[in-house]
Amino acid sequence: MPNENIQFRPREELLTFEEIERFVRVSARLGVRKLRLTGGEPLVRRDVPALVARLSAIAGIEEIALTTNGILLEEQAVALKAAGLTRLNISLDAMSESTFQKIARREGLDRVFAGIVAARAAGFRRMRLNAVAIRGITEEEIVPLARYAREQECELRFIEFMPLDAEQRWDSSQVLTGEEIRRRLEAEFGPLREAPRPDPSQPACDYEFADGVGGIGFINPVSQPFCGDCNRLRITAEGQIRNCLFSTDEWDARALLRGGGDDEQLANLIVDCVAAKKAGHGIDSPEFIRPERSMYQIGG
């Protein structure tokens, strides 16, 4: 859950759009085909549609997604679509204002709904709603979220609560597992049918409702780790490459980008980071070390 004492980094520490574009160009030459802009909240950065346009023009990039809390989406949906954004992931953890505020610690559920409507009107057809599942808080939101996603023709994904909370208060007892959520949904809507898995590296186990209306996915990094299939790489807003959400190591791309390094050196740095990727995150291991960074600092 968000921390009220979040500190924003000085602008000069953040990668410029030109630096991000260069990093993506080099990554695309190494085989990267899909991008996702995350946060924190990416839409608070000025001129994000301009960045999307830059990235969509890079040879080899086939998809650009953006993950947003939806608060600013209504105002920017048209520009994002025009810039070449191909997919939207919208965080929606609750359908009730009280639970929404408990998790987000702000008002604004109505603005999220307005953003979803605006995105649909702007022409987005690939829209996914992401809901973090937290025991003791979101159980009663499961069925209403599923109903809403079906009505809006959006895919819904439930994500197990991970030890990346800003306040470092995560405990395994707070994990509402994907299997428990699935049982609740089946009790309401009938059996869920396993859906095809076109991308073996995707983190979600996807299902379809028995009546054929809509799809649902479960991302279960705690109860069912998928590390063996993961092929994701992250670069933080200030230019640190990470090969896992739970990594305690980072590779400094900003130092190369601003220190005169050439594209070959940058490519080698990326390859070194990938080569150091561990077999698993080890959440359930006694040796697990929680990252100092929270989710909003890494990018989900």
- Predicted local confidence at residue 169, as pLDDT: 61
Euclidean distance between CA atoms 48 and 60, whole angstroms = 21
- Predicted local confidence at residue 167, as pLDDT: 52
CATH of the domain at 65: 3.20.20.70
Neighbours of 232 (CB within 10 A): 14
Euclidean distance between CA atoms 134 and 113, whole angstroms = 21
- Predicted local confidence at residue 113, as pLDDT: 98
Residue 246 resides in a domain: yes
Average pLDDT (9-38) is 94
- Predicted local confidence at residue 71, as pLDDT: 96
% of the chain residues with pLDDT over 90: 67
As a dihedral over the C-alpha atoms of residue 6, residue 12, residue 14, residue 20, rounded to 10 degrees, the angle is 160
List the beta strands (DSSP E) in 43-183: 63-68, 87-91, 127-133, 155-160
Residue 200 resides in a domain: yes
Does 30 score more than 80 pLDDT?
Answer: yes
- Predicted local confidence at residue 295, as pLDDT: 46
Residue 147 resides in a domain: yes
Q: Using one digit for the tens of pLDDT, what is the confidence trace for 87-123? A: 999 999 999 999 999 988 889 999 999 999 999 999 9
Q: Band of the pLDDT at 2, cuts 50, 70, 90?
A: very low
- Predicted local confidence at residue 12, as pLDDT: 86
- Predicted local confidence at residue 226, as pLDDT: 59
Residue 185 resides in a domain: yes
Residue 267 resides in a domain: yes
Mean pLDDT of the chain: 87
Which of 48 and 249 is assigned the larger pLDDT? 48
- Domain of residue 232: give its range: 11-298
Q: Specify the residue for token string 């409507």.
A: 117
Residue 215 resides in a domain: yes
- Predicted local confidence at residue 196, as pLDDT: 84
Average pLDDT (174-179) is 88
β-pair partners for 87: 65
Q: Using one digit for the tens of pLDDT, what is the confidence trace for 269-300? A: 999 999 998 775 555 555 544 555 454 455 55
Please give the helix or strand (H or E) that residue 76 lies within, else none: helix 73-83
Residue 217 resides in a domain: yes
Q: Using one digit for the tens of pLDDT, what is the confidence trace for 213-258? A: 999 999 887 776 657 777 889 999 999 999 987 787 899 999 999 9
Q: How many independent structural domains does the chain possess?
A: 1
Which of 289 and 85 is assigned the larger pLDDT? 85
Residue 285 resides in a domain: yes
